[in-house]
Amino acid sequence: MKTLKKILATTMIAAMVLGLAGCGGNTDTGGTNTSDDGVVTLKIAHGASETYHMHRAIERFKELVEETGQFQVEIYPAQQFGSDGEMIEGVKTGDLTMAVSPSSYMTEELPSMSLIELPYVYPNRETAWAVLNGEWGQKELDELEEAGLHGLGYMENGMRQLTNNKKEIHHPEDLNGMKLRTMQVQAHVDFWNSLGCSAEGSPFSELYTNLSTGVFDGEENPIAHIFSQKFYEVQKYITISDHVFTAYVPVMTVDFWDSLSEEKQTIINDAFKEAYNYQMELVEKEEPEELEEMEAAGCVVNRLTDEEKQEFIEAAQPTLQKYREIVGDDVYDEFTAAIEAAQK
């Protein structure tokens, strides 16, 4: 009888434990909680300010997916989860659902991603977008998938421009000896150093302070970043150089993406497309206004002439050749062929 009582007691305890486990309100799926009613919480992080057009586009994405009643979205801007590299790692470890980081921070997973942000590979922004939204860009996303990351597409970061506190820039030799902050991307550091700069990749979050204290003489960023981060307050000269096009890639793990129903995947894809279109509208409208406001604040703005830009294009060739050798002739030629095709 005692043995029977022990067996019954053990069975009841086991049933209670299983019951309690089943009553947990949320199931953790890596930066994501799914409630009992099927609502999925998405944790999204990026490095830009809340006034930046990309952040506002993500807010639009949040509105669209939440109105379906199937998602709840938490947005963490301004590097609250660390640098771009740390945010991508956060996606892999499950601390985040999605990181929205520049493509250049995904070269560990896919080396050909480095090609997107090489200096002077596109004649203009329109060509860059034609490449990324075309077959070549989709192929990159497909190959990223093989590395365990699912990319929703590409978002605008934009053409990068040069600012400094020393003088107007018209020729590569004008940069000789200038202390320049770049992204923490080796191709960018290589390019500027080849022009005679003392270039260094350093954290974006420290840039305003480093400019105001003279750690750097200058920096390079898209107009919207120069404006939203108020770098123009501590920089006198803005050169419209269009030297590098940068794009964000919103990524999540393939495992998380595959865990979603087809209906939820469609909601996310449709919302992303609308958020992308909204961002493009913001960029087209606001960038000229931001540049005008910075001029009114006292910045001297100069645009490189076609002849001046050609000097920079020629100066970029050694850097391009270096990365051709890194990724291989076939991969590089496929990329440049896509650029040529986009211009026809």
Per-residue pLDDT tens digits for 208-217:
999 999 999 9
pLDDT over 50 (residue 5): no
User: Would you say residue 19 has pLDDT above 60?
Assistant: no
Strand partners, 179: 198
Nearest residue to 182 (alpha-carbon basis) of 191, 173, 174: 191
* Mean pLDDT for the chain overall: 92
Identify the pLDDT of residue 34. Answer: 82
Q: Per residue in 247-292, pLDDT tens?
A: 999 999 999 999 999 999 999 999 999 999 999 999 999 999 999 9
Task: Mean pLDDT check: name the lowest of 20-24, 95-99, 259-263.
Answer: 20-24
Q: Is residue 15 pLDDT above 70, yes or no?
A: no
- Cβ proximity of 197 and 162 under 8 Å: no
What does the alpha-carbon distance between residue 265 and residue 95 come to, in Å, rounded to a whole number?
21
Above pLDDT 90, what percent of the chain? Answer: 89
Residue-level pLDDT at 27:
38
Band (pLDDT 50/70/90 cuts) for residue 35 is confident
Model confidence at 37, pLDDT cuts 50, 70, 90, reads confident
pLDDT band at 32 (very low <50, low <70, confident <90, very high): low
Cα angle for residues 202, 198, 112 (degrees, 5° grid)? 60
The answer, yes or no, to whether residue 21 has pLDDT greater than 60, is: no
Does the structure show a pLDDT above 90 at 158?
yes
Confidence of residue 29 (pLDDT cuts 50, 70, 90): very low
30, 89, 98, 112, 198 from 259: Cα distances, Å: 11, 20, 14, 28, 47
What are the structural domains, with CATH classification, of the chain? 26-342 (3.40.190.170)
Q: Of 333 and 24, which is predicted with more confidence?
A: 333
Q: What is the pLDDT of residue 121?
A: 98
Query: What average pLDDT does this structure show over 129-157?
Result: 98
| Per-residue confidence (pLDDT) for residue 31, from 0 to 100 | 58
> What pLDDT is attached to residue 2?
42
Least-confidence region, from 5-19, 138-152, 165-179, 236-250: 5-19
